[in-house]
Structure 1
């Protein structure tokens, strides 16, 4: 009997592994090109880029980032009313394959690249929100620890992709497909070949989902949420009514949403502002080998792969002993820790003593220590927050809830575009101070209002509510 209970507690359904395959593949391919985006946009055509100005590149990044975060809300509504999660995910992978194929075939023609960006944004309206929501649908709300552990595994899959993506993307762009002069200096980067790899990879993931979804997900997410029930009209009337407890939770989720938006706005500067800083002012030569700057993202990925299951097991163990810390405490500490990472980079940058002609470089270890600290903070915010939003949201809004979670990324794209344009004016010192301070303040605010947030979200009542629902049915 004890063995059966243990199996039920720690065994996960096949659907989780399918979602992990999808997210690992998506993440691998996304991170293979996300770190090179700013360079692809701004380097000259002769160097393998598009030849855009910093201002033009910043505008594209801002618009794409904003729409890429907002469109999943529309995608979730379409998913819940017409498609169902399974069809939505299959369609998303196919569209993204098409989008990146356009990048490869039409570089450096900017108008066609913009067409590719638009198709890519449409694909993202149906991808991450549904992949994330489907994980939560595999578990009941009584399984708090299992669901947290599942999202920990899911987040580890994200980072398996983010580890390998920049490695192979960097090798393609800076070594295998790069054109070099007689002295070994890069004269043309192989950026478009990274996009070809992504297009092929996305098509492979599309085929995997096409074959495995019926077997590994079965009925989970197969039909549109609104298609359930005999009387559709009546279902839609009830659908948007919230109980008093649900309304209170929405207020709590709204507060968390604001603070997490600040978090991601700062965090994602690692792909743009911090990447540019590292490319210009960090000594990336190790034993005669030039480390592609995007490998810093890979370092973050491998740390997540190592630490995510450890933290997942820690939450399970603490839960069994009734010692699991409140969600808002985890997230507050995560924000503060991530803020400290930006100050570590600032300390390294200050070792340049104002010499910004690129003749002096800061040591790589400053970046490695900063990314280690940043990763710990990230793991206290992201998988925990994903699981929380899924738990607190009624099942009929699962996809929409995950879209709201990803909506927190909106301002990161806008801020990235703006900071790309103003970095030369403000300087990295000022920007690092602002980024670090924003996270420290957000973390402290969450700590102060933690009792209020915990009262609003009432996580402790979820199990009894699930039991009451099952009894009523």
Structure 2
């Protein structure tokens, strides 16, 4: 490590680990907090509205890096951008802990703006550390180490969130995220002397687009179109916020299309390849980011989370289970963990827009519980399932990297575009795992084993490892030097649109009487993206070969 990588890497590793600790802690409990009743400290939003807010939130956190990264490149420098962004995010995380709707929205705005400065700046510093001949050859390995820091933070945060929520409530869990962010900033400050050489602002190059043009051609029209989308009567895309976001994206998409159409012959092919990759990647994120909405709902309502015996005893000691009274009304409204009422036709009753259904509690267990309504039952915290994906990443990354290294030695390693298409196909299979889970759960009549979610996350993680790490790499490789920042912005824009679409898709959950159809639609979206990828794969590989990158 000492000879192969710069000393500054470990400071960036732990800075990003704590920043992602806070970010993913929020992601894990965000929807749960919004739908929780006010009597237990939540906001009592409907599931559909919570999905919409979640989709808008994660969409905007990936949209602001477009401008934040540009300002860091040209005016602020990366150190100032990281301090500013981290401070705003820390305040926002803590602000979410106040049980107030106005403060809730203000805090979201602080996080969204702060992430715009922080995220692109710290990633750029990692790359800049490897700009010298001494370290250049190990740049990809450096990013792999940095990526592990992200997932270590994402893995640990949900365990801490469950502990804090069970012991002290929602506010304490959100405050912990803020403390994590400020710890990251302290670590960054301590490593400043090892990072000075990487804090190099990008020089102005011929053909660069000025800030005034970006504001005038992109952001001002986007704001105006967003306002139109918000105020037009009716909901074209199911909610005012979704209408506003989709309308706001139109000028930005037009900007990138014009960039491609006006490009010279040398730049047109790589720009076209990147735009195609952005399009198919967008569909991946639309499905993948439902981990905070649809899959969280599945964990909350459809998964048998009850623990007993030694498991219950062990988890209770470290406060990773929720204790609930077996009271019919409470169970029906909020947890749906045990038997619910049925109507005259013996169909499960829907209460407050939530699916209510019978679980696989034995007759003997049911009689015991009904004879003692005050008996406590222990349930694994729903947010703990959010640690499954980063846990799989930590476990599977060495195997996926090793597999492709083996193919490389045999001269059979797929090209980067081929890996992306393969990742899309594998991800579609994860949706089919959930289709089988719905079948075994009799469409919600019986709660299913947690292992179905573990398996689903395992499959989609393999797809993610084939696709996600390739994104930033291929943008940096194919972009014309004067347009790299803008194309990075386009990459984040595609993630942003995908994130918003994930909220739109998740909000349709209750439109599907048969829940397997919901997951089939997601699988078809990814298979459609796979088909598009296969159609353009030959062209993408040709462009990579022209650049000497295949």
TM (normalized to structure 1)?
Answer: 0.83
CA contact (8 A) 2:129 2:197 kept: no
Q: CA RMSD in A?
A: 2.7
1:63-91, Cα deviation, whole Å (9 max, x unpaired):
32332222111112211221122221222
Partner of 1:74: 67
Partner of 2:422: 333
What displacement does 1:336 show? 0.9
1:24-63, Cα deviation, whole Å (9 max, x unpaired):
2122212222121112112221121112233432342233
- Of structures 1 and 2, the one with the larger relative CO (CA 8 A, separation 6+) is 1
1:285-331, Cα deviation, whole Å (9 max, x unpaired):
34453322222221211221122244335545655665432001111
Matched, 1:406 2:514: no
Written as runs of structure 1 = structure 2, the 5 A alignment for 1:129-278 is 129-139=120-130, 146-173=138-165, 175-177=166-168, 190-213=169-192, 215-220=193-198, 222-225=199-202, 228=203, 235-239=204-208, 244-278=265-299
CA contact (8 A) 1:61 1:416 kept: no
What SS does the aligned partner of 1:439 have? helix
Structure 1 pair 211–74 and aligned structure 2 pair: CA distance change class (3 A): same
Structure 2, unaligned stretches of length 5 or more?
210-261, 313-378
CA contact (8 A) 1:130 1:399 kept: no
Aligned residues: 428
Partner of 2:455: 369
Q: Distance in 2 between matches of 1:141 and 1:309?
A: 27
Structure 1 pair 145–342 and aligned structure 2 pair: CA distance change class (3 A): farther
More moved, 17-26 vs 337-346: 17-26
Q: Distance in 2 between matches of 1:246 and 1:211?
A: 42
Q: Distance in 1 between matches of 2:486 and 2:278?
A: 14
What SS does the aligned partner of 1:449 have? helix
CA contact (8 A) 2:12 2:188 kept: no
Partner of 1:187: none
Q: Distance in 1 between matches of 2:502 and 2:525?
A: 15
> 304, 308, 312: which one pairs with 2:393?
304
CA contact (8 A) 2:438 2:444 kept: no
Partner of 2:109: 118
Whose radius of gyration is greater, 1 or 2? 2
Partner of 1:284: 305
Structure 1 pair 398–11 and aligned structure 2 pair: CA distance change class (3 A): farther
Structure 1 pair 457–136 and aligned structure 2 pair: CA distance change class (3 A): farther
Structure 1 pair 148–316 and aligned structure 2 pair: CA distance change class (3 A): farther
Structure 1 pair 390–291 and aligned structure 2 pair: CA distance change class (3 A): farther
Partner of 2:347: none
Q: Distance in 2 between matches of 1:87 and 1:223?
A: 12
What displacement does 1:134 show? 2.7
Written as runs of structure 1 = structure 2, the 5 A alignment for 1:77-88 is 77-88=70-81
What displacement does 1:243 show? 6.8
Partner of 1:232: none
More moved, 236-245 vs 385-394: 236-245
Partner of 2:510: 424
Q: Distance in 2 between matches of 1:394 and 1:130?
A: 20
Structure 1, unaligned stretches of length 5 or more?
1-6, 178-189, 229-234, 464-473
Structure 1 pair 244–130 and aligned structure 2 pair: CA distance change class (3 A): farther
Structure 1 pair 93–397 and aligned structure 2 pair: CA distance change class (3 A): farther
Partner of 1:35: 28
Structure 1 pair 238–122 and aligned structure 2 pair: CA distance change class (3 A): same
1:353-377, Cα deviation, whole Å (9 max, x unpaired):
2344xxx201222211111111111
Q: Distance in 1 between matches of 2:144 and 2:474?
A: 12
CA contact (8 A) 1:335 1:440 kept: yes
Q: Distance in 2 between matches of 1:148 and 1:263?
A: 23
Matched, 1:52 2:31: no
Structure 1 pair 316–126 and aligned structure 2 pair: CA distance change class (3 A): farther
CA contact (8 A) 1:41 1:51 kept: yes
